[in-house]
Amino acid sequence: MTTPSCLTTQNCSNLTNDDNNDEDNFTPGFHASRDVSLIVIAILIIAINSWVIGLVATKRNLRTVTNYVLTSLAASDLCTGAISIPLFLSCNITWETDVCTADMFVIIFTSVSTVLHILAMTIDRYICIVYALRYHSWVTKRRGWYVIALIWLTSMFMALIQLAWTELNHDVTEEHSEDVKEIVVIYDIFRFVAFIGIPVVFMAFSYGRILYEVHRQTKSIHKNNTPGWQETRRSTKQEWKVATIFLVMLIVFIVCWVPYYLLRLEQILGNDFFQLNLSELAIFLLYIFRLCTSFINPCLYILGKPDFRKAMCPKRRQQRRYNSETTNTTVMKSSAI
């Protein structure tokens, strides 16, 4: 029995580089050793991203433009756990063309969406630090909603454009024609350049400029002994920490997704072009890694952004306020005596 086509399912983990391997090395159905781990990951992704959306929906102080973009990213990541992984499992169990094609569309949607969300947050931090005085006039909630809508529409377009060459009645166990393969290669290369290469170069420049600006502002404040310099320095340092979180999100995306792009190109172009020589376990882990971005992203900004940390620990904040008031009362009584 042959395996599902990598072009239809994007499930290259089912394929092998060894031409001498038995064709029956993969059969449709539920495989506990492989599929249980995917189910656990899906549950974790759904839980943590739903928590992020719930926090922003219930906490008024979290309703900022930056957090709206983060919430949109959480909704996109939620699609990975709630839609993409179930479709992937269903594709492997049933080998139905429509199911496998839907899985391919969702995977591409989430990959493009993640890059565009990180790009939007990078631009937000760039404006906030480099053009601090103009930030509130440039970055408004209305423009934030426009950006979010543009991200979702672009991601959907990049996923659905494949309908132009995808054969919905094609058997997933059969190879595609050479013309279709050529179109897919061009499409994948364009997607890699447009939604990884160019954004990474732009964001690398942006973070370099942000780092320079933070260093320049800190040095200027310290040198001129500007009034309120401690508070300004603390605010600048906090903004840099938030920007660092988004930088780490970008690095995680590159580490988790670029190997998969290379693997997909290898499977499409054939071993004559280049060989990765990966084992079945390594190929399966590459698929797991690309899913991990949907779990790592919310962990980063929940643990890294001060406003999310405060929203998660209201009792601790109230305790600090109580301790502060108690200390002030004690000091006042001591002074009166």
Q: How far apart are CA 138 and CA 146, in angstroms?
A: 13
Residue 177: predicted pLDDT: 72
Helix spans in the chain (H)? 6-9, 32-58, 65-79, 85-94, 97-130, 135-138, 141-160, 178-192, 198-224, 229-269, 280-304, 306-312, 314-336
Q: What is the pLDDT of residues 89-100, one digit of tens each?
A: 888 888 888 888
> pLDDT, tens digit, for every residue of 256-266?
888 888 887 77
Q: What is the DSSP letter of 134?
A: G
- C-alpha 119/C-alpha 164 separation (Å) is 28
What's the pLDDT score for residue 27?
Answer: 64
Buried b (16+ CB within 10 A) or exposed e, 235-257: ebeebbebbbbbbebbebbeebb
Q: How far is CA 25 from the centre of its chain?
A: 33
Q: With left for phi above 0 and alpha for psi between -120 and 50, is residue 211 left, alpha or beta?
A: alpha
pTM score, whole prediction: 0.81
Lowest-pLDDT choice from 212-226, 240-254, 264-278 = 264-278
Superfamily name with CATH number, domain 6-323: Rhodopsin 7-helix transmembrane proteins (1.20.1070.10)
What is the average pLDDT across 226-246? 70
Q: What is the DSSP letter of 227?
A: T
The residue count of the chain comes to: 337
Ordered by start, the domain boundaries in the chain are 6-323
Q: List all residues 6 or more positions away from 56 whose beta carbon is below 8 Å from its beta carbon.
A: 62, 63, 67, 68, 70, 71
Question: How do residues 11-66 score in pLDDT, each as one tens digit?
Answer: 544 444 444 444 445 566 666 777 888 899 999 999 999 999 999 999 888 999 99
pLDDT digits (tens, 9 = 90+) for 140-168: 999 999 999 999 999 999 999 988 888 77
- Establish how many alpha carbons lie within 13 A of residue 129's alpha carbon, considering only the half-sphere containing its beta carbon: 31
Question: CA 286, CA 283: separation in Å to the nearest integer?
Answer: 5
> CA 269, CA 33: separation in Å to the nearest integer?
30
